[in-house]
Chains A and B, each alone.
Chain A
């Protein structure tokens, strides 16, 4: 802001300097022309003479003394002009589509306005072949083996093909719950999944309520060193630190983080370090671990991801403070805190 004002002032100053130079230049010229007359005249008359010489009666654009519009008229016209500009501005307002129904929107540039509403009952993706588009798209084969089943507010997409050409968010997946604004690539066709019933982005929210959750682990006793990953369970204000390179999560007391719950297996998940990043891995096939609402097998974690283990929700974040780390020998603290 101040920088811009400074620049404007600079521009102003330079223009003023140039004008002054020009005026001085013209005075020198006129003075040299009228040396004899100038001595005769008084100062006021000299100014008049100089003005007459340099501005030679006519204006630069030769505009008359009596303009055709009066003062109020021209002001009204100016206001009308401003109003026209306002209309021009208003016309450029982006139009948000008002589809309240769930469905697919085609992203291909030639079929902009096309919207495909989805039916309530379960069906396959075969209906995409029957849609009339401006341009013919090559679709991937065996769309009849891709199922779309309603699941709570949204749909579950299951791909039964062994090899497929179906990408969700530019990744292959066989079993996905569709979220709002997911991008599907089916052969040449690009689809955007629209669902206004679902809350935007991450579907699970953290609450400030304090429940006595049966979670035991290393709790921070002061500032945490930068780069240390932290799990903060939803419904509890106590964070849990991941201090070792491999941290296991489960209901058995031999884990680093112990969750006493029926829905958590004895050894459920582990979070381990690869290079500078952290990865989560589901250890049992019949149990689920999900990240950001999606069931995963293994996946790299980002700061701010939401991890669900059984019925417990965690938020994964990486400490950014620069304090000293509390030293706790191995994971003995976790074992002590489990009351047996």
Chain B
């Protein structure tokens, strides 16, 4: 019996091309989303300035719109465009429901505009304090990258704060700011900084994707049913798995899967799977368990869904 299980495990020693392929695809996917975020923020800036013109011309509220025409407006619009797509990136990657993705994008837009106001406002204050504009702009870009992912972590209630990811977001923002400044220096940043915004978006999302790839060392593959062939990459410390779309990994279209069915967490280089409630039933290698460390090649059965676990 031991020999058999040994031989089952040996075959997973081979380099797993599919997961590596999946990871590189994910980086591409994320950076595409960053590009799209930059482009959308550009378009929002354009339409926003037109809207501002209309507002100031009509003078509806009888206010002086010099306030709106400044950093607050720009920061909010850029943050809105970028945050919308960066927040929804995970849901888009795992093909969640459209309604769920739209709600994520809405959250992202709100949070992104708030962080944009905050960061660009701070940059403006630094400029007022006679600090060189380049440094102040770089600071605000870095803060934007940091705060995007800080708020993402803050809003997702089930996973703990994951500082390396937030810091890598900050580094991405910093690099994006440098690229932006260089493009501005050589005057090739396109019409209204189109290329600069796009490249900044790409650099933020690329850094995040690179970090998440580095952190990923375990994966779950769905073997049966509607989501056959989908690969869940484990890149945090803690995950939730279940039917509801609020989970990190969603099993949709399977019978006997609870809304919140299981926890998966990393501890001492081992990955554990744990029951969420008494009613939820998890079978690892067709044996019912409450909590167990998983090994390579284990088959996990949750309701009617069949999952395979492997390490990379």
Contact of A63 among B1, B74, B94, B127 (CB under 8 A): B74
- Taking CB atoms, residues of chain A closer than 8 Å to B268 are none
Contact B125 A110 (CB under 8 A): no
Once the chains are docked, how many angstroms separate the CA of A151 from the CA of B165? Answer: 54
Contact of B85 among A64, A68, A85 (CB under 8 A): A85
Query: Given A7-B154, A88-B33, A188-B7, are A26 and B123 neighbors across the interface (CB < 8 Å)?
Result: no
Contact A74 B46 (CB under 8 A): yes
What 0/1 readout, one digit per residue, does chain A (262-303) give for beta carbons within 8 Å of chain B? 000000000000000000000000000000000000000010
Chain B residues bordering chain A, tally (CB within 8 A): 89
A17 CB, nearest partner CB in chain B, Å: 10
Contact B191 A170 (CB under 8 A): no
Contact B92 A78 (CB under 8 A): no
What 0/1 readout, one digit per residue, does chain B (165-195) give for beta carbons within 8 Å of chain A? 0000000000000000000100000011100
Nearest residue in B to A1 (C-beta to C-beta)? Answer: B246
A184 CB, nearest partner CB in chain B, Å: 11
Nearest residue in B to A113 (C-beta to C-beta)? Answer: B229
A279 CB, nearest partner CB in chain B, Å: 15
Contact B95 A93 (CB under 8 A): yes
Contact of A51 among B12, B36, B67, B226 (CB under 8 A): B67
Contact A183 B299 (CB under 8 A): yes
Contact B115 A15 (CB under 8 A): yes
B113 CB, nearest partner CB in chain A, Å: 9
Q: Does any Cβ of B come within 8 Å of A185's Cβ?
A: yes
Query: Given A60-B75, A167-B4, are A85 and B304 neighbors across the interface (CB < 8 Å)?
Result: no
- Taking CB atoms, residues of chain A closer than 8 Å to B18 are 109, 112
Q: Does any Cβ of B come within 8 Å of A138's Cβ?
A: yes
Main SS of chain B's interface residues?
helix
Once the chains are docked, how many angstroms separate the CA of A170 from the CA of B310? Answer: 16
Q: Does any Cβ of B come within 8 Å of A221's Cβ?
A: no
- Taking CB atoms, residues of chain A closer than 8 Å to B272 are none
What 0/1 readout, one digit per residue, does chain A (58-84) give for beta carbons within 8 Å of chain B? 011111110111110111011001101
Task: Pick the interface stretch among A94-102, A123-131, A225-233.
Answer: A94-102
Q: Does any Cβ of B come within 8 Å of A92's Cβ?
A: yes
Contact A188 B115 (CB under 8 A): no
Q: Does any Cβ of A come within 8 Å of B292's Cβ?
A: no
Contact A69 B74 (CB under 8 A): no
Q: Does any Cβ of B come within 8 Å of A31's Cβ?
A: no
Contact B111 A22 (CB under 8 A): no
- Taking CB atoms, residues of chain B closer than 8 Å to A53 are 128
- Taking CB atoms, residues of chain A closer than 8 Å to B101 are 89
Once the chains are docked, how many angstroms separate the CA of A210 from the CA of B50? Answer: 73
Contact B47 A75 (CB under 8 A): yes
Nearest residue in B to A169 (C-beta to C-beta)? Answer: B286
Nearest residue in B to A180 (C-beta to C-beta)? Answer: B224
Once the chains are docked, how many angstroms separate the CA of A78 from the CA of B42? Answer: 9
Q: Does any Cβ of B come within 8 Å of A326's Cβ?
A: no
- Taking CB atoms, residues of chain A closer than 8 Å to B114 are 11-12, 15
B131 CB, nearest partner CB in chain A, Å: 13
Contact A92 B74 (CB under 8 A): no
Query: Given A95-B228, A201-B255, are A55 and B8 neighbors across the interface (CB < 8 Å)?
Result: no
Once the chains are docked, how many angstroms separate the CA of A112 from the CA of B114? Answer: 46
Once the chains are docked, how many angstroms separate the CA of A201 from the CA of B257? Answer: 13
Query: Given A26-B125, A71-B47, A192-B223, are A78 and B229 neighbors across the interface (CB < 8 Å)?
Result: no
Contact of A88 among B32, B125, B230, B255 (CB under 8 A): B32
Contact A181 B47 (CB under 8 A): no
Nearest residue in A to B88 (C-beta to C-beta)? Answer: A85
What 0/1 readout, one digit per residue, does chain B (1-15) give for beta carbons within 8 Å of chain A? 100100110111010
Q: Does any Cβ of A come within 8 Å of B24's Cβ?
A: no
A136 CB, nearest partner CB in chain B, Å: 11
Q: Does any Cβ of B come within 8 Å of A35's Cβ?
A: no
Once the chains are docked, how many angstroms separate the CA of A4 from the CA of B74? Answer: 26
Contact A170 B192 (CB under 8 A): no
Contact A26 B154 (CB under 8 A): no
175-210 of chain A: CB within 8 A of chain B: 180-181, 183, 185, 187-188, 190, 192, 200-201
Nearest residue in B to A70 (C-beta to C-beta)? Answer: B50
Contact of A69 among B43, B71, B125, B193 (CB under 8 A): B43
Contact A95 B229 (CB under 8 A): yes
Contact A60 B4 (CB under 8 A): no
- Taking CB atoms, residues of chain B closer than 8 Å to A77 are 39, 43, 46
Q: Does any Cβ of B come within 8 Å of A171's Cβ?
A: yes
Q: Does any Cβ of B come within 8 Å of A328's Cβ?
A: no
Nearest residue in A to B116 (C-beta to C-beta)? Answer: A15
Contact A11 B111 (CB under 8 A): yes
Contact A81 B151 (CB under 8 A): no
Contact of B49 among A67, A137, A172, A187 (CB under 8 A): A67
Contact of A92 among B93, B115, B154, B255 (CB under 8 A): B93
Once the chains are docked, how many angstroms separate the CA of A88 from the CA of B151? Answer: 24
Q: Does any Cβ of A come within 8 Å of B155's Cβ?
A: yes
Contact A19 B121 (CB under 8 A): yes
- Taking CB atoms, residues of chain B closer than 8 Å to A7 are 154-155
Given A29-B129, A108-B11: 7 more A-B contacts, CB < 8 Å: A8-B107, A11-B114, A48-B64, A60-B75, A61-B137, A62-B184, A75-B47
9 tightest A-B CB contacts, nearest first: A74-B46, A71-B50, A74-B47, A60-B71, A170-B285, A92-B95, A78-B43, A68-B191, A169-B286
